[in-house]
């Protein structure tokens, strides 16, 4: 079943999608998104770390450390 769907998509969509992917404006958008993706991932990691103490018991050492240094963790924002 999946092989039929894959063959259909490959047969009918590969040529138009290849032409679309070669379009310079769409390629520029794609490259811009790819360029900013590492920044977004690292920033998201910092946000998760900064707000992690809200989900932890207050007696945990890591929660106390993060609360004490939240300003430094959120400095890029």
DSSP letters, the chain, are: -HHHHHHHHHHHHHHHHHHHHT-HHHHHHHHHHHHHHHHHHHHHHHHHHHHGGGGS-TTSHHHHHHHHTHHHHTTT-
- What's the gap between Cα 72 and its chain centre? 23
For residues 21 and 42, give the distance between their C-alpha atoms in angstroms, rounded to a whole number.
Answer: 28
Q: What is the pLDDT of residue 31?
A: 95
In tens, the pLDDT along 18-74 reads 898 889 999 999 999 999 999 999 999 988 888 887 777 878 888 888 888 888 888
Tokens read off for 18: 């290849």
């Amino acid at each position: 079943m999946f092989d039929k769907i894959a063959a259909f998509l490959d047969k009918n969509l590969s040529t138009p999608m290849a032409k679309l992917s070669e379009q310079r404006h769409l390629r520029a958008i794609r490259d811009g998104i790819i360029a900013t993706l590492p920044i977004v991932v690292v920033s998201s990691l910092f946000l998760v770390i900064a707000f992690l103490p809200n989900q932890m018991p207050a007696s945990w050492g890591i929660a106390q450390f993060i609360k004490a240094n939240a300003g430094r963790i959120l400095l890029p924002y």
